[in-house]
Amino acid sequence: MILLLPIDQLLAPLSRKQVRDSIYRLLAAMKLPVTAWQDGGAAKAIISVVAAIFAGFTEVIALAIRANFLDTAEGIWLTLLAYYVYGVTRIEATFASGEVRLVNSGGGIFEFEPGEFICKHSVTGRQYTNTAFFRLEAGQTLTVAIRALEADSRSSAAQGQIAVLVTTMRGVACTNPAPVVGRDGETDPELRERCRDSLGALSPNGPDAAYIYWAKSARRADGSPVNVNRVWVSKASSVGQVTVYVASPNGGVPGTIGDDSTDLGAVHKAIRTRVVPNGVTCTVGSAVPHPLSVTCEVWISKEANLNDAQVALEVDSRIRYYQATIPIGGYVLNSRSPGQVFRNAIIGQIEDVSPFIIKADVPLPATDVTLAENEVPTGAANSTTVHQV
């Protein structure tokens, strides 16, 4: 007889107590006097050791079983499942890179090999280093290419935020003239979604999922992944025209159509060569950033042991993270309503920052924010007032 267990039992490992109780039941069925055994005796000690070992073994078994299903596989197991079953490679985190401008108003001369020069973010403290040799003469202004020391989006910096020198350089000021952007590695939910989208990419008829999959999976001419996490595809057209808008976690997608070294150019090439069927014209464009400032008040218990600046930074980070996930065109309740960013959803995100937050209020925006179908909200100058209670 073949015993078929429910899937939820196959996915759940056994605890030590469950294994130990099962062993005692089997021994009792064999007429052994298990109830007469003394605590601390050799028999019970051996059973406890066996239970601990077998419980750990069931955790491995459960992980291996979960790894077979897209909805239950996690971490490295999901990475392997995506690659070997769906042919999808997980996108890893990237190092934020860009440039800083060094202004030497003193008389010193400085030379640094790659990796010797260090500067940092004036708010988060994230550090960056030079990627090439440079020499800074007295009285000179020099632009230096940099890369973050840690790979994720938290090393991103808005214009002017990389303004602190860690390496001692007397008389030298530092700033970044343009934003420096990195991206997080693909999360498990994002990878699962892309695996499902990849099935649509198998169709020769260009369904929405195919456009979405290749827009997110496109790579630049150097092989690095594009920074695209949201895609909007126009509805069916009777004249064979499709419009695709793409967005990055920071809002728009930079680049030029025809230049495969840029994100927008790489997305256009991937869609044009991999998706668009004969007789169809596809227009690819970057989503339009819609700056959205959030002014909020937060009441938090003093037991959180966080100062006002720490709370404000956590709230600002959560707001920006949430904005980076809102679909192009906002959330649409029904086919007749415009897409929106809901004010109550922002409040919910803020209150979810810490279990010690008692209440949050958002005076700005005062109402839900309406977006055009090609717009995405982007972080602006957020303001947080903290009340310790």
| Contact status, residue 213 vs residue 193, Cβ threshold 8 Å | no
pLDDT tens string 287-315:
999 999 999 999 999 999 999 999 998 99
Q: Is 139 helix (H, G, I), strand (E, B) or coil?
A: coil
Tell me if the pTM is above 0.85.
Answer: no
pLDDT tens string 347-372:
999 999 999 999 999 999 999 999 99
pLDDT tens string 312-338:
989 988 998 899 899 999 999 887 778
CA 300 to the chain's CA centroid: 27
* pLDDT score of 286 more than 50: yes
pLDDT tens string 151-207:
988 888 888 999 999 999 999 999 999 888 888 889 999 999 999 888 877 765 557
**What residue ranges do the domains of the chain occupy?**
7-66, 95-175, 201-286, 290-388
Give the containing element (helix H, strand E) for 265: helix 263-274
The pair of three-digit structure tokens given for residue 246, joined into one six-digit string = 């793409």
Strand locations in the chain (E): 95-104, 110-112, 118-121, 127-130, 134-136, 141-151, 162-165, 172-175, 230-233, 241-247, 281-286, 288-292, 295-300, 339-341, 357-364, 369-371, 375-379, 383-388
Closest by Cα among 82, 86, 9, 23 to 53: 23
- The position carrying tokens 């159509």 is 257
Q: How far apart are CA 263 and CA 271, in angstroms?
A: 12
Q: How far apart are CA 64 and CA 68, in angstroms?
A: 7
Q: 120 forms bridges with which residues in the sheet?
A: 127, 164
With vertex at residue 351, the alpha carbon angle to CA 347 and CA 355, rounded to the nearest 5 degrees, is 170
Q: What average pLDDT does range 220-244 have in this prediction?
A: 87
